[in-house]
Structure 1
Amino acid sequence: MARRQQTQQEWATRTARDRTDAPARGRLLDAAETVFARLGHGPATIAHITAEAEVSRAGFYVYFASKDEVFRVLAARVRDAFLAAQDVPGVDTDDVPAVAAASTAAFVTAYAHHLPLLSLIEQQARTDAEVRALWEEIRERPVRRAARYVRRVAAEGLAHPVVDPLTLSRAVGGMSVEFARLVAERPDTRDAAVRDVTAMYLHLLGIGAAAQQ
């Protein structure tokens, strides 16, 4: 009973700290992404992560129960990064070309940055149900959110999609992923990639080149 209470107290402490933006937790997550990208999921250990983060092993367990848990938290963080890529603060959401350019740039940048981890998430999704659910969210939620935006601007006469919004969003998402892979290999191609994907996006939206100028 005493041991169970101690475990529950430790869990409560860790859960409470999970809700904060603790610097140590952030360092552990950044370190974990670096370690997983460098070593892969299997070879990576908690010791590798804590050494990279310069946080004690006990400090790790304040925030995470296991290596698998920190990996799942990273997967959720990547999902959130792609959803955030569709938030374009400072851009008028009725300015469809500006939204297309800003969201494309953010998505391509995020995908290129997280590419090594994304590959691992896809691999782990084959054997881990929780990671599989996160992988589906990473792939589907940005697409469905973009489709909702396309439906809105189409209904308001701001765009004239050449295909249905969901198909359009899947196509743009696929193009963005392929160009992001190239950007990951050659960062100097980012601006050209964003320009080209944005042009294709606007074409599918039925918005002419003149609208981009």
Structure 2
Amino acid sequence: MDAGPRSAKGRRTRARLLEGGKAVFERDGFLQARITDIANEADVSHGAFYHYFDSKESLFREIAEEVEVRLVSMDDIAQDGERRGSAVDRIRAANRSYLLAYRREAKIMRVIEEVSRYDDDVRSIRAKRDDLLGLRLESAVARLQEEGAADPRIDKRYAAMALGGMVARFAEMMFIGGWSYDLDPAVEQLTLLWANSLGLDTDDPRSNQPRAT
């Protein structure tokens, strides 16, 4: 809706509806979820639901947007110009952060993925997440090139799309699609793929220098 509730009680009630809706959507899926069940989960009346949301669709879209924002709020390869370890270390940290965030949200991400196939608004929310993540990754690749760590011939936009898509798809298949992989080896393999694709030195993980040719 246009504006959130002004009172503290109203904000708490709205937050309970978002939390309760998320629990019901995770349990029942979108199509089977009922407003009555969401209201019961949030411990509010059925009529109170409509004071905060027009429909279960509007509630779901807000939940989807909150979840997608959390996914791209992971640690970046570098933050505010601060360098934390080597280039490979920073890529490893970003991959681990993304996989952990996706694992926490896997139940609702399954539903978001399903709804995005037929709901244009939810699909646009996912596209906005992808665009934001792509921009962050482009910036990260550019920084690595400026440091002399990444192959300067690589186009940062292509790299961001390909490597970001690889990690996102891997997370989806690992936590939703039933792939059976342990977290630590998955992080390491994704990090090697990232590093090798960019031409980083993986023989010495503490090095920020490009691989010798």
- Give the structure-1-normalised TM-score: 0.76
2:138 pairs with 1:151: no
Q: Structure 2 CA distance, aligned partners of 1:191 and 1:21? A: 42
Residue in 2 that maps onto 1:198: 191
Q: Structure 1 CA distance, aligned partners of 2:136 and 2:97? A: 15
Q: Structure 1 CA distance, aligned partners of 2:57 and 2:109? A: 15
Residue in 2 that maps onto 1:132: 123
Q: Go from structure 1 to structure 2 and tell me whether the alpha carbon gap of 1:22 and 1:202 turns closer, same or farther (over 3 Å shift).
A: farther
Equivalent residue in structure 1 for 2:66, among 60, 77, 80:
77
The amino acid that maps onto 1:37 is E
Q: Go from structure 1 to structure 2 and tell me whether the alpha carbon gap of 1:183 and 1:129 turns closer, same or farther (over 3 Å shift).
A: closer
Higher helix proportion (structure 1 or 2): 1
The amino acid that maps onto 2:188 is R
Deviation at 1:155, TM superposition (A): 2.5
Structure 1 segments, 4+ long, off by >6 Å, are 18-21, 88-91
Q: Structure 2 CA distance, aligned partners of 1:105 and 1:20? A: 37
Residue in 2 that maps onto 1:38: 27
Q: Deviations over 1:71-109 (max 9, x none)?
A: 111111122112201447799446422321121111112
Query: Is contact 1:183-1:193 (8 Å) kept?
Result: no
Query: Is contact 1:82-1:142 (8 Å) kept?
Result: no
| Cα root mean square deviation, aligned | 3.3
Which consecutive unaligned segments of at least 5 residues does structure 1 have? 1-10
The amino acid that maps onto 1:138 is R
User: Which of structures 1 and 2 has the larger relative contact order (alpha carbons within 8 angstroms, sep 6+)?
Assistant: 2
Q: Go from structure 1 to structure 2 and tell me whether the alpha carbon gap of 1:209 and 1:118 turns closer, same or farther (over 3 Å shift).
A: same
Query: Is contact 2:39-2:45 (8 Å) kept?
Result: yes
Alignment of 1:37-116 (within 5 A): 37-87=26-76, 92-93=82-83, 95-116=86-107
> What is the SS of the residue equivalent to 2:105?
helix
Query: Is contact 1:28-1:60 (8 Å) kept?
Result: yes
- Which segment drifts farther, 53-62 or 67-76? 53-62
